[in-house]
Amino acid sequence: MSVDSALIVLRNALPMSAQLAADIAETGVIVSFPADFALDQNVEGWVPVIVDGEQSGFNYSVHSLAELDHDELPSGVAKAGDTLLAFGGKGTLSAETVTLIHEVMGRRYRASLLIEDELFPPDDSWGPSAPLDDIHVDRRGSPAKLAGEVEAYVAQHYPSLPPARHAVAKEMLKQIFIPVLIFAALGGFYLWSQLK
């Protein structure tokens, strides 16, 4: 599962990562960012984070809206901010972690969500003092719990496909190859010893 999304923000309103972690803690979830991670710094790669004691993370990059082609962005983006924070979730825990960060950033820092070329501005009542503790209730659990529920749902309703025939044959050949190789080596050793 891979999910790409972005936030449109005002760069000078971005919190330090320690403050974002403290804000997220108000939801009942503990997130630890790397010591050198800053929301306004371009990473262009994977940011490892720990969520409620479990390894997670996301791809992250920062772009100035002035550098982007506005014809490819939905209307209203320029009013929403001057910076695009691009997130890439890999797997369900990563995607749930990114979703939680989006919700906290939207409520506390008035970030607009940009996903699938659609812009979702924050609620008018959200801002610096917006309550965050109800996010935990609304989402019915931590990212790890939500990721587990998604994975269980997928496993129940979309069982994994049986392996392709050639994959099964390849696996069987792998299992047979080592014993055949050992037998051939022993046979060769026996023949060599008989020729002496």
Q: Find where tokens 């001057």 sit.
A: 82
Closest CA to 83 of 45, 59, 47, 112: 112
| Residue ranges covered by each domain of the chain | 2-156, 166-196
> How wide is the angle at C-alpha 94 spanned by C-alphas 161 and 136, nearest 5°?
115
d(CA 102, CA 175): 47
Neighbour tally for 18: CB within 10 Å: 12
Rounded mean pLDDT of 51-67? 91
pLDDT-derived band at 110 (thresholds 50, 70, 90) equals very high
pLDDT, residue 1, reads: 43
Give the range among 41-55, 104-118, 132-146 with minimum mean pLDDT: 132-146
Contact 31, 50 (CB under 8 A): yes
Q: Which of 24-33, 39-48, 63-72, 167-176 has the lowest mean pLDDT?
A: 167-176
Neighbouring CB atoms inside 10 A of 153's CB total 11
Residue 194 pLDDT: 73
Look at residues 74, 114, 80, 60 and name the one whose alpha carbon lies nearest to residue 10. 80
Q: What is the mean pLDDT of the chain?
A: 82
Does position 115 have pLDDT exceeding 60, yes or no?
A: yes
**Using 50, 70 and 90 to split pLDDT, how confident is the model at 136?**
low
Backbone angles phi, psi at 58, to 5 degrees: -165, 155
Cα(101)–Cα(126) distance, rounded to whole angstroms? Answer: 15
Nearest to 27 by CA among 125, 152, 132: 132
Which of 35-39, 82-86, 100-104, 186-190 has the least mean pLDDT? Answer: 186-190
Task: Return the amino acid letter for 164.
Answer: A
Give me 66's structure tokens: 């002035």
Mean pLDDT of 12-26: 93
Q: Counting every residue, how long is the chain?
A: 196
The band of 106, judged by pLDDT with boundaries at 50, 70 and 90, is very high
Is a pLDDT exceeding 70 seen at residue 2? no
User: What is the rounded CA–CA span in Å between residue 145 and residue 129?
Assistant: 27
C-alpha 80/C-alpha 121 separation (Å) is 7
